[in-house]
Structure 1
Amino acid sequence: EHDPVYKVSIIPRGRALGVTMFLPEEDKYSHSKRGLVSQICSLYGGRIAEELTLGTEGVTTGASNDIQRATSIARNMVTKWGLSERLGPQMYDEEDNEPFLGRSMSRPVHGQSDDTARLIDEEVKGILDTCYQTAKKTLEDNMDKLHVMADTLMEYETIDSNQIDQIMEGKKPGPPDGWGDDNKPESGSPETNADLQEVAGNDASDTISKDGAAPTN
């Protein structure tokens, strides 16, 4: 359960070296557990692709933002959205969980026992580990498509949903829409933040941006 991929690009944008954009098919005001798990799996895709192609020693820091976002979603699932089987539909106060003067990094947040804090960490890690293994198996089963997609990106720098569909069908992908005679993609329709943004929850900190950038306040 995931929004379809709209575009993939290896052209750097800000601090991101590449971006995968998803275009929601309809407005969403809430997210299912299945959908959130799918998002975490997709966020691990780049890191796992590096591991499978470069080996564990060749993995880079490029996926740091994706890992941060995946961890944030998993923690919100456990502490805000009541999606943990062991902890149940209860909210745990983690709004002000940054360490400050006089407070130890290891101390649980206000109102939590050490056992509860430990259980939260275990549940978050369990979600992340399961999603990581699911994403890894998906890529391992589709290594041929992964290599074709990488080669296509090296040639065109940006690919669209039509090319992605061709790759997943085992076909040789053609050039992306708007590919001009000078081998540069022509400008297409404008993209708006509303088109490429999805919200999980109601807080600004819960916004899951599709352009690879973490939301700012």
Structure 2
Amino acid sequence: MRLAELSRRSGVPTATIKYYLREGLVPPGHRVTATQAEYDDTHLRRLRLVRALVQVGRVPIASAREVLTALEDDSLDHNSRLGTAVWALPHGPESTGPDASEEEARRTVDALLEQLDWRSAREYGAESPAYRMLVTAVSTLTRLGYPCGAADLAPYARAGAQLAVADLDLIERYESPDEQLEAAVALTVLYEPVLLSLRRMSQAEESGRRYGQRAPGE
């Protein structure tokens, strides 16, 4: 297919595709003349992955390039490729510097991971953006005096483990590694508002059951 058709099928403007080509995010097409190239389904899949990273995930170009480099690294297993893609996504605010509450938060998080036997999370530890984000959140809760011990966090972690199964089940509906990486990025970003909405709706339901007015005889 020519560039115009690639743009039409992908939904990405030709100017944006040319930019991705210049930045090395999409491989060059197969040159047919000095000024024209042909593209195939490989380019279409790669373009969708780039769009998921850059447009949906708001990943900087340099980070997106790292993800794509990992995708092409035959020495990495599929788990490492997925992890690289998700780690590249922007995360919440991180610590501005160590203090007593952060050290306490780190001990709490480490105790939780030990209790859950989450081996990968313990292995990567502070290298993981999600770990650092959790430590920052627990540190804030600690400073404000809200419950945030390992026992308080455990129900959320167990719910998260169930969500991870659902996430990977969705991702495995896609066949190629490129499509699974695209889905991992897009679904991580797009499902987070779904999770937040469902949590708040569930809170409203539980509050109604606990504290709402009941009809006589109920």
What TM-score comes out, normalization by structure 2 length?
A: 0.28
Of Structure 1 and Structure 2, which has the larger fraction of its residues in helix? 2
What TM-score comes out, normalization by structure 1 length?
A: 0.28
Of Structure 1 and Structure 2, which has the larger fraction of its residues in strand? 1
